[in-house]
């Protein structure tokens, strides 16, 4: 699963499909539950916990990436970026 190819725009790993990206994300989360340190003890709560929340389509590389951003965070970011790029005044920036 996954490739060693990286997106030139984002620097993230490129996945061929949304399903492949989701499977890798679930594999990362599943393996976290069984993670142990060098002595065989389980790693404590929240240490090294995966944060990938969703897969999204990248228009630059035409592949899929994993991100920790929620969809609402991404929409808010792109709206603010669009306003800034178009010269609109916004006190939220």
Q: Where are the domains of the chain?
A: 18-85
- Residue 27 confidence (pLDDT) above 50: yes
pLDDT digits (tens, 9 = 90+) for 43-89: 665 555 667 778 888 888 999 998 887 777 766 766 776 777 777 65
Which residues, at least 6 apart from 61, have a Cβ–Cβ distance to it below 8 Å? 7, 8, 9, 10, 14
* Stated pTM of the model: 0.57
Spatial distance between the Cα atoms of 40 and 18, rounded to a whole number of angstroms: 35
Residue 68: the pLDDT is: 82
């Amino acid at each position: 699963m996954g490739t060693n190819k990286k997106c030139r725009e984002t620097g993230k790993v490129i996945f061929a499909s949304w399903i492949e990206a989701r499977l890798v994300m679930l594999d990362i989360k599943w393996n976290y539950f069984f993670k142990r340190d060098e002595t065989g003890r389980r790693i404590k709560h929240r240490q090294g916990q995966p944060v990938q929340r969703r897969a999204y389509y990248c228009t630059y590389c035409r592949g899929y990436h994993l991100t920790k951003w929620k969809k609402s965070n991404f929409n808010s970011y792109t709206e603010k970026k669009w306003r800034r790029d178009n010269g609109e005044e916004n006190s939220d920036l």
